[in-house]
Amino acid sequence: MSHAYPAPAKLNLFLHVVGRRADGYHLLQSVFRLIDRADTVHLALRDDGRVVREGDLPGVPEDHDLTVRAARLLQAHAPRGAGVSIRLDKVLPMGGGLGGGSSDAATVLLALNRLWQVNLPRAALQQLALQLGADVPVFVFGQTAFAEGVGEILRPVSAPPAWYVVLTPPVQVPTAVIFAAPELTRNSPPLKIARFSAGMGRNDLQPVVISRYPEVARHLEWLAHTIQHAQQRVADRSPLGQFGEARMTGSGACVFASFATENDAREVLSRLPETMQGFVAQGLDRHPLVDCCAE
Ligand SMILES: C[C@@](CO)(OP(=O)(O)O)[C@H](O)COP(=O)(O)OP(=O)(O)OC[C@H]1O[C@@H](n2ccc(N)nc2=O)[C@H](O)[C@@H]1O
Ligand SMILES: Nc1ncnc2c1ncn2[C@@H]1O[C@H](COP(=O)(O)OP(=O)(O)O)[C@@H](O)[C@H]1O
């Protein structure tokens, strides 16, 4: 029998590069927010000790698939013979800065922690997650988070209720290439975050990406321009709708803006030209699996 589990996307509400470690990895400060747009991970338990991926993921061989690697990592802690067949329904674009692959992997860790009765505490699962990628621990953490280090030092923060317009430019941005760019600024002054306010900060990776990927620049410009128009119109009514700045998430390619109401978000999305794609999603305060699968 197969079980279905959600793997929600994330947005980096801001992302500052504050330094670089000796091994070349970058030190960041970011607020991660989960949204209700998700891949679905189907897991069918096996008792032959094998981890098998069913179906194809273009450009990702089975042994590189983060879901397969996640299951194999957890297997070291599982009873003998524990195995699983994994099937993915991908909704989230790859290389989009929405963390889809990382979230798929975190969902596998969380779900198998319960299904295989491994019962690792959340902190231990987060450490395993970090071996798979800098972005994986936050999905195991499962709440809106202020992240530091390379993304492994996580503290809960609260963010106001928000709906997001997310545009998905038809390009994949390789994270490693953007971090390696000579023009990337790596010296944002570290923030002491007492409270997070919508619209604060910026994404330091954004100037690098928009200079190299015209499609990302085009989507960002459209969103900024459309928000400006909508804002002027709403200013005539009272009370004022709240509009966030158009910004890129992670290392791109997706761009987003936040809105206080679903209506405002849908109105902006309704103006999207046929040459662009996007969706509206609601900010989540908790990962849907946060309470079921680890303590
Ligand atoms: C930029 C962010 C922001 O949330 O997200 P995405 O845009 O990828 O979703 C993350 O830091 C990405 O995390 P993730 O996608 O897991 O990256 P990893 O697989 O660990 O790293 C890919 C490559 O990016 C570089 N890298 C990554 C993270 C980091 N803090 N410093 C780096 O220099 C390294 O060269 C690394 O080899
Ligand atoms: N299960 C998976 N789903 C998506 N991407 C995966 C997966 N396993 C490995 N990858 C690799 O990870 C890369 C980054 O994917 P993803 O996390 O979706 O985007 P991003 O890191 O930009 O948010 C992909 O381009 C792909 O090569």
State whether 272 and 222 are in the same domain.
Answer: yes
Domain limit, last residue, from 137, 156, 175: 156
State whether 16 and 147 are in the same domain.
Answer: yes
For strands 247-248 and 255-259, give the pairing: antiparallel
The overall average pLDDT reported for the chain is 94
Q: What is the pLDDT of residues 130-165, one digit of tens each?
A: 999 999 999 999 999 999 999 899 999 988 899 999
12, 255 Cβ separation under 8 angstroms: no
State whether 25 and 152 are in the same domain.
Answer: yes
Residue 277: the pLDDT is 98
Secondary structure (3-state) at 3: strand
Domain limit, last residue, from 156, 184, 216: 156
Q: Does residue 30 surpass a pLDDT of 80?
A: yes
Choose the residue to mutate in 135, 172, 188, 204 for probing ligand 1, maximizing ligand atoms within 8 Å of C-beta. 135
In a domain, 57, yes or no: yes
Q: Does residue 68 surpass a pLDDT of 50?
A: yes
- Is 2 annotated to bind a ligand? Reply is no
State whether 210 and 229 are in the same domain.
Answer: yes
* Residue 185: how many other CB atoms lie within 10 Å: 12
More confident residue, 264 or 248: 248
In a domain, 142, yes or no: yes
Ligand closest to the CA atom of residue 103: 2
Q: Which residues is 28 bridged to in the sheet?
A: 17
In a domain, 294, yes or no: no
Residue 242: the pLDDT is 66
Residue 240: the pLDDT is 45
State whether 108 and 254 are in the same domain.
Answer: no
Cα separation, 256 vs 276, in Å, equals 13
* Residue 61: how many other CB atoms lie within 10 Å: 10
State whether 169 and 260 are in the same domain.
Answer: yes
Residue 199: the pLDDT is 73
The domain that contains 83 carries what CATH number?
3.30.230.10
Number of domains, the chain: 2
Domain limit, last residue, from 106, 126, 156: 156
Phi, psi of 175 (to 5 degrees): -55, -45
Catalytic residue among 10, 39, 104, 204: 10
State whether 31 and 135 are in the same domain.
Answer: yes
Tell me the pLDDT band of 70, cut-offs 50, 70 and 90: very high
Q: Does residue 93 surpass a pLDDT of 60?
A: yes
Verify whether residue 135 is a known catalytic residue: yes
- Which residues form ligand 2's pocket by a CB distance below 6 Å? 57, 59-60, 64-67, 88, 92, 94-102, 104, 172, 175, 250-251
The domain that contains 274 carries what CATH number?
3.30.70.890
State whether 195 and 224 are in the same domain.
Answer: yes
Nearest protein Cα to ligand 1, atom 1: 250
Q: Which domain holds residue 25?
A: 2-156
Catalytic residue among 39, 104, 135, 264: 135
The C-alpha angle 162, 168, 169, rounded to 5 degrees, equals 140
- Is 93 annotated to bind a ligand? Reply is yes
Residue 135 CB less than 6 A away from ligand 1: yes
Percent of the chain at pLDDT > 90 equals 85
Q: What is the pLDDT of residues 193-252, one digit of tens each?
A: 756 676 789 999 999 999 999 999 999 999 999 998 887 776 665 444 567 899 999 999
State whether 119 and 241 are in the same domain.
Answer: no
Verify whether residue 10 is a known catalytic residue: yes
In a domain, 280, yes or no: yes
In a domain, 291, yes or no: no
For strands 163-167 and 255-259, give the pairing: antiparallel
State whether 70 and 171 are in the same domain.
Answer: no
State whether 176 and 150 are in the same domain.
Answer: no
What is this structure's pTM?
0.96
State whether 150 and 174 are in the same domain.
Answer: no
Residue 235: the pLDDT is 62
* Residues contacting residue 210 through CB under 8 Å, at least 6 positions apart: 216, 217, 220, 248
Residue 163 CB less than 6 A away from ligand 1: no
